[in-house]
Amino acid sequence: MNKFIARLEKHKMKNFPMLIIAIAFVIFIIMIIGFLNQNDEDSSTIYVTEDAELRTGPSAAYPEIKSIDKGQHFHKIGKTGKWIEVVSNNKKEKGWVAGWHTNLDIQADTNPNEKPLKDKTIVLDPGHGGSDQGASSNTSKKSTEKVYTLKTAKELKSLLEKEGAKVKMTREVDEYVTLDDRNIKGDAYISIHNDSLKSSKANGSTVYWFKDNQKALAETLSASLQKKALLTNKGARQENFQVLRQTNVPAVLLELGYISNPTDEDMITDQLHRQILEKAVVDGLRAYFSQ
Ligand SMILES: [Zn+2]
């Protein structure tokens, strides 16, 4: 047994220089890695490559301390996610800047609100249809509401689908659909109509809502129509319409102009003008679902 231990110790001693070299090599590698890391993470000076904001913390949710200009440079003192903690060279200003506004190779976060309508189900309800022609004009054009509510809905459908929305229609052809059958569920419900009155003077668009959970959508769409459309905007109003009453989803009824008014009729029957209204509705929906 003693012999065995003696032999073992002799063997260990023989390998001692090799062990020292191995340990030294490992320490050297660790130092190299440390040095490279330090260079990457603490490379002191960073430049602001576009006008940005200095914030109190590492996300856009933190309050803004001040705006910072393209070309300004800072000393980098930390990093959390894609945000860089910086201090000005005179040490007076300290805060966080988004990495993508700096010379560092950091890509901006994709904004989840860029496509707020993505995967949202929007129900479009073209008013009237079939034996129910809705309102009609008094001019030689003899325009009927059911034709233009369907055209508007179809055009709106393709715009919404480009935004990633799923669109359901209560009718896709010239057919009669009862009000009960128009009750289809979605994330938002838009019933499309044209107004009419005996007097040819009445004109403009109105956005109707009935239940409390419909008011915000109505006001958002009304504001968007006000901004874009050429029709006079009569605002968002509360009215007890069956299509609004019978659903629990945010729903509105759009009266997009008076078909009984010759000027409005021209706009209703003009595809370019309809497109302006439809884009206003898409903008309004985007704003509504971004909130
Ligand atoms: Zn109608």
CA of 195 to the centre of ligand 1 (A): 6
Q: What is the CATH number of the domain that holds 83?
A: 2.30.30.40
Does residue 229 sit within a domain? yes
- What would the pLDDT profile of 134-157 be if each residue is shown by its tens digit? 999 989 999 999 999 999 999 999
In a shared domain, residues 68 and 148 = no
Does residue 231 sit within a domain? yes
CA of 266 to the centre of ligand 1 (A): 17
CA of 165 to the centre of ligand 1 (A): 25
DSSP-derived secondary structure letter, 100: G
Residue 110 has pLDDT above 70, yes or no: no
Distance CA 154, CA 197 (A): 26
In a shared domain, residues 179 and 279 = yes
CA of 283 to the centre of ligand 1 (A): 23
CA of 135 to the centre of ligand 1 (A): 6
In a shared domain, residues 238 and 149 = yes
CA of 49 to the centre of ligand 1 (A): 54
pLDDT of 41 reads 45
E strand map for the chain: 45-47, 52-55, 64-68, 73-80, 83-87, 94-98, 121-126, 166-169, 188-195, 205-209, 233-238, 251-258
Q: Are 115 and 100 in contact (CB under 8 A)?
A: no
Does residue 180 sit within a domain? yes
Does residue 25 sit within a domain? no
Q: What is the CATH number of the domain that holds 158?
A: 3.40.630.40
CA of 134 to the centre of ligand 1 (A): 5
pLDDT of 21 reads 84
DSSP-derived secondary structure letter, 32: H
CA of 235 to the centre of ligand 1 (A): 17
Does residue 97 sit within a domain? yes
Non-local (6+) Cβ contacts of 99 within 8 A are: 79, 82, 83, 84, 106
Query: Number of structural domains, the chain?
Result: 2
The mean per-residue pLDDT over the stretch 180-208 comes to: 95
Residue 55 has pLDDT above 60, yes or no: yes
- What would the pLDDT profile of 153-179 be if each residue is shown by its tens digit? 999 999 999 999 999 999 999 999 999
In a shared domain, residues 65 and 125 = no
In a shared domain, residues 81 and 175 = no
Does residue 187 sit within a domain? yes
pLDDT of 130 reads 97
Non-local (6+) Cβ contacts of 157 within 8 A are: 124, 167, 169
Place of tokens 């190299």: 32
Q: How do strand 188-195 and strand 251-258 relate by DSSP bridges?
A: parallel
Domain end position, chosen among 52, 67, 101:
101
CA of 286 to the centre of ligand 1 (A): 25
In a shared domain, residues 59 and 190 = no
Place of tokens 């004109």: 203
Instruction: Characterize 140-154 residue by residue with b for buried, 16 or more Cβ atoms within 10 angstroms of its Cβ, and e for exposed.
Output: eeebbbbbbbbbbbe
In a shared domain, residues 239 and 197 = yes
- In which domain, by residue range, is 54 found? 43-101
Does residue 5 sit within a domain? no
3-state secondary structure 252-287: EEEEEEECCCHHHHHHHHCHHHHHHHHHHHHHHHHH
CA of 159 to the centre of ligand 1 (A): 22
Residue 40 has pLDDT above 60, yes or no: no
Does residue 138 sit within a domain? yes
CA of 27 to the centre of ligand 1 (A): 82
CA of 133 to the centre of ligand 1 (A): 9
E strand map for 104-259: 121-126, 166-169, 188-195, 205-209, 233-238, 251-258
The mean per-residue pLDDT over the stretch 241-268 comes to: 96
In a shared domain, residues 211 and 130 = yes
CA of 128 to the centre of ligand 1 (A): 6
pLDDT of 238 reads 97
CA of 127 to the centre of ligand 1 (A): 5
In a shared domain, residues 141 and 70 = no
CA of 211 to the centre of ligand 1 (A): 19
H runs (alpha helix) in 60-142: none
CA of 291 to the centre of ligand 1 (A): 30
- What would the pLDDT profile of 2-39 be if each residue is shown by its tens digit? 665 566 565 565 677 788 888 888 888 777 766 655 54
In a shared domain, residues 156 and 54 = no
Structure tokens at 249: 């989803």
CA of 119 to the centre of ligand 1 (A): 29
In a shared domain, residues 150 and 260 = yes
Q: What share of the chain is helix, strand, coil (3-state, %, to 5)?
A: 40, 25, 35
In a shared domain, residues 53 and 126 = no
pLDDT of 35 reads 61
- What would the pLDDT profile of 77-105 be if each residue is shown by its tens digit? 999 888 999 999 888 899 999 998 898 88
CA of 161 to the centre of ligand 1 (A): 25
Q: What is the CA radius of gyration of the chain?
A: 33
